[in-house]
Amino acid sequence: MKTKTLALIIVFVALAAALNIAGPKIPAPYAPFLFYQLWEIPIVLAFIAIGPKVGVAVTLINTLILFAVFNPGANAGPIYNLIAILSMFLGIYLPYQLAVRGCKTENFGNYLKQHIKVISISATALGIIMRVLVTTVVNYFSVQQPYPIGFSFTQPAALAFLPLSALFNATVTLYTIPIAIAIAIPITSRFKL
């Protein structure tokens, strides 16, 4: 791995961790135990601006940090975050691949500027679809498990939770991907990453 890539991974992991610690936490009005935060934006930014391998590496390291620092109760929350982010990446990947196909690295920022609406809308829509689908299935089975995996929900309680979870995951994706793309444009057009 190149030193530059390793340094960028460290920067994005540090930024995600700092936003998790000191960033705003806004409780979802429909489920106050779920919080809107900004820490996923640098992770998605790394995926878009530098590439899928770096985005996945940042995600995995971030998960380890969540377990080590933010998870004293040893519950499975960081695993759910990992699944949510990786499933969102699946939705972003196709528009990302179409965007970089036939595009030289030094022109990627300009290409993004020219096709921002199509890329942003398709990446966001597919990101929402994949994240909601995967997390809904995972949540259905996991929340019925005992702690530390789940919350020992009954099946009716799990079914009642799924729409709240789907809404949360959709809205997180709805702001995370467009903000990451908007930040990626000036970064990729000014720097050769």
Task: Determine the average pLDDT of the residues in 154-161.
Answer: 96
| Contacts with 57 (C-beta within 8 Å, 6 or more apart), sequence order | 9
Tens digit of each residue's pLDDT (9 = 90 or more) over 65-108: 888 876 655 578 889 999 999 999 999 998 777 766 666 655 66
CATH T-level fold of 3-190: Arp2/3 complex 21 kDa subunit ARPC3 (1.10.1760)
Give residue-wise pLDDT tens across range 37-63.
999 999 999 998 888 999 999 999 999
Q: How far apart are CA 148 and CA 71, in angstroms?
A: 11
Q: How many helices and strands (H and E) does the chain possess?
A: 7, 2
What pLDDT is stored for residue 128 in this prediction? 97
The string of pLDDT tens digits covering residues 96-125 is 777 666 666 556 666 666 767 777 899 999
Would you kindly state where each structural domain of the chain is located, as residue ranges? Answer: 3-190
| pTM (predicted TM-score) | 0.88
